[in-house]
Structure formats: structure tokens, C-alpha cells
Amino acid sequence: MDILEMARNSGMLVMLDGRIGREEYHSVSGSLQALQRFADALRESLSLTANENSACRQRVVCL
């Protein structure tokens, strides 16, 4: 899950503020609606991951 890509896809502006060594610092801004779309996308992503993990555990138990 690329959280910055999710923010961009939700309509938020992602800016690179600086880089120190290998560490990057970003700012993210947007409308309240964009924040809601981001939260919905994050919730869906976490739900899909949980479902995949559950299905994997069920297959292991059945074997």
C-alpha cells in the first residue's frame, strides 16, 4: 500500500518539502471531501488485506 499514491488518487496535493539523507519529508493537503475519499480508500485497502489474510489462514487450517 503506497499511502502517498492513495492520497494523490483521492484528490489531495502531495508535496516534497525536503530530503535529508535518505529520508524524505512530505506535506499533504486537500479538501475535506478529498480527506473523506482518502479515509474510504484506506478503509477499503485494510478490509481487503484482512480478507486475504483470513482466506489464507482458512486454507492452511483446511490442509
Per-residue model confidence as pLDDT tens digits over 34-54: 999 999 999 999 998 777 776
> Percent of the chain having pLDDT more than 90?
73
Number of structural domains, the chain? 1
Distance CA 59, CA 56 (A): 5
Give me the CATH number covering residue 38: 3.30.1370
pLDDT at position 26: 98
> Does 57 score more than 90 pLDDT?
no
Q: Give the structural domain span for 48.
A: 3-62
pTM for the model = 0.71
pLDDT at position 11: 98
CA distances from 47 to 15, 50, 51 (A): 28, 5, 6
pLDDT at position 33: 99
